[in-house]
Amino acid sequence: MASLEVSGLTKSFGATHVLHGIDLAVEDGEMIVIVGASGCGKSTLLRIVAGLETASSGSIRIAGREVSALEPAERDIAMVFQNYALYPHMTVEQNMAYGLKIRGLPKPEIARRVAEAAGLLGIGPLLARRPRQLSGGQRQRVAMGRAIVREPKLFLFDEPLSNLDAKLRVQMRAEIRRLQRRLGVTSLFVTHDQTEAMTLGDRLVVMHAGHAAQIASPMEIWARPADTYVAGFIGSPAMNFLEGTLAEGGQVVALKAGPVLRFADGPRAGGEGRPLTIGIRPEHVELAEGGIPLPLDLVEPLGSETVLHGRLPGGEALVVKLAGPGPGAQSLPVALPAAALHVFDGETGKRLDP
């Protein structure tokens, strides 16, 4: 159990800069999810913390101890790999015990830890089997078990759920979360799946092009995304973005599509005509008599809700999510409630608060 501090971490492969100065402080027992599209540097960050890659600059401290110069095995961490990396010629038990054996732990201690972890994960009956005799979910558990027996200061998960089918993924997700809470081990979890990120993390790190675009709790990120990238990445279906300009002394935005919307929370800085990007989540768009007409071109029924795709008069796409079955109409009048608007700078994409 320990804290993790990453500061000023950069990584370049030759002329390619993968990480541009990552700062992150993880508290004892916290579960941090690093999320981002592929190629954003999230796996590289995890591998640097693991010691499988070396950073170009910056420091990593686990429980206050600088570990940059240490071998992976000396960092007191455990990692769960994407394809589990269970040794195929060893039984489940040998797989779990291997790291402890190398560390020279006494046999009874190894047996105790393996039995304990196996009990915790419900894989006791599988101990004598080999990895290829196990199902995907069971392999996943064994990979977790191998990490747990080490009783590490830090757990690292490298997209461990991406090889499972959808149903099992949801189940294992909950299981990992429960287990992490119960063991109270500080954890870093890398994923590209925003649902996984939202449900698992105490806090999220949204990575974009080698930067940490935002580090905050899931709800904070959902409610107040720091820029258009984060806003578009978190939430499903993705947030709608509409172009507009600032008007009336910063009190309103004039959308390119026509309507003029008044800010609910106060004026934004900047001169008349400052370009803005207005974000609104599909679930926040309302149906209103006399609203903007939205001709629909696609209706996706999901059972409990319906996702409608349409185009505003200006030609911009707008996605609306409604509870219940969708309306039969070809065109709907919609309103964009002022309180649900997210205001971003039109050029930098950064969030603008009053």
Partner 1 sequence: MRRYWSSLWPHLWLLLGVLIFAAPIYITLIGSTHDASTIGRGDVPLLPGSHAVENYTAAWVSGGSGRFTVSPASRMLLNSTIMALCIAVGKIVISLLSAYAVVFFRFPGRMIAFWTIFMTLMLPVEVRIIPTYQVIVSMDLFNSMAGLTIPLIASATATLLFRQFFLTIPEEYVEAAKMDGAGPMRFFRDILLPLSVTNIAALFVILFIYGWNQYLWPLLVVNDRSLETIVVGMAKMIGTGDAQNEWNVIMAMAVLALLPPVAVVLLMQRWFLKGLTETEK
Q: Tell the smallest beta-carbon distance from residue 12 to partner 1 (Å).
A: 18
Nearer to partner 1, 107 or 350 (CB): 107
Q: Could you tell me how many residues of this chain bind partner 1 (CB under 8 A)? A: 25
Token pair of 252 as six digits = 């309103």
Amino acid at 254: A
What is d(CA 279, CA 255) in angstroms, rounded to the nearest whole number?
11
What is d(CA 25, CA 5) in angstroms, rounded to the nearest whole number?
5
Q: Which residues contact 48 (CB under 8 A, 6 or more apart)?
A: 9, 11, 19, 54, 55, 60
Among 25, 52, 247, 340, binds partner 1 (CB under 8 A): 52
Q: Tell the smallest beta-carbon distance from residue 51 to partner 1 (Å).
A: 8
Nearer to partner 1, 52 or 209 (CB): 52
CB 238 within 8 A of CB 280: no
Please return the burial class of 32, using the count of CB atoms within 10 Å of its CB with bins 0-12, 13-18 and 19+: buried
User: Residue 23: helix, strand or coil by DSSP?
Assistant: strand
Token pair of 255 as six digits = 């959308």
What is d(CA 94, CA 288) in angstroms, rounded to the nearest whole number?
64
What is d(CA 179, CA 157) in angstroms, rounded to the nearest whole number?
13
Nearer to partner 1, 78 or 164 (CB): 78
Q: Tell the smallest beta-carbon distance from residue 239 to partner 1 (Å).
A: 36
Nearer to partner 1, 13 or 87 (CB): 87
What is d(CA 278, CA 261) in angstroms, rounded to the nearest whole number?
10
Site string for partner 1, 222-241 (x = CB under 8 A): --------------------
Nearer to partner 1, 72 or 275 (CB): 72
Nearer to partner 1, 158 or 196 (CB): 158
Nearer to partner 1, 25 or 52 (CB): 52
Q: Tell the smallest beta-carbon distance from residue 286 to partner 1 (Å).
A: 49
204: enclosing H helix or E strand: strand 203-208
Q: Tell the smallest beta-carbon distance from residue 49 to partner 1 (Å).
A: 12
Query: Given the structure tokens 């590289």, which residue do they identify?
Result: 44
Q: Which residues contact 231 (CB under 8 A, 6 or more apart)?
A: 225, 239, 241, 279, 342, 344
Q: Tell the smallest beta-carbon distance from residue 82 to partner 1 (Å).
A: 8
List residues bridging with 56 in a β-sheet. none
Q: Does position 340 bind partner 1 by CB under 8 A?
A: no
Site string for partner 1, 68-107 (x = CB under 8 A): ---xxxx--xxx-xxxxxxxxxx-------xx--xx----
Q: Which of 105-130 are b and which e, b meaning 16 or more Cβ less than 10 Å from the residue's Cβ?
A: beeeebeebbeebbebbebeebbeeb
Nearer to partner 1, 30 or 158 (CB): 158
Site string for partner 1, 132-161 (x = CB under 8 A): x-----------------------------
Q: Tell the smallest beta-carbon distance from residue 80 to partner 1 (Å).
A: 10
Q: Tell the smallest beta-carbon distance from residue 89 to partner 1 (Å).
A: 4
Distances, alpha carbon 279 to alpha carbons 57, 178, 226, 318, in Å:
36, 34, 12, 11
Among 33, 50, 257, 334, binds partner 1 (CB under 8 A): 50
- Among the residue ranges 55-63, 67-75, 171-179, 242-250, the one whose residues contact partner 1 (CB under 8 A): 67-75
Q: Where along the sequence are the contacts to partner 1 (CB under 8 A)? A: 50-52, 71-74, 77-79, 81-90, 98-99, 102-103, 132
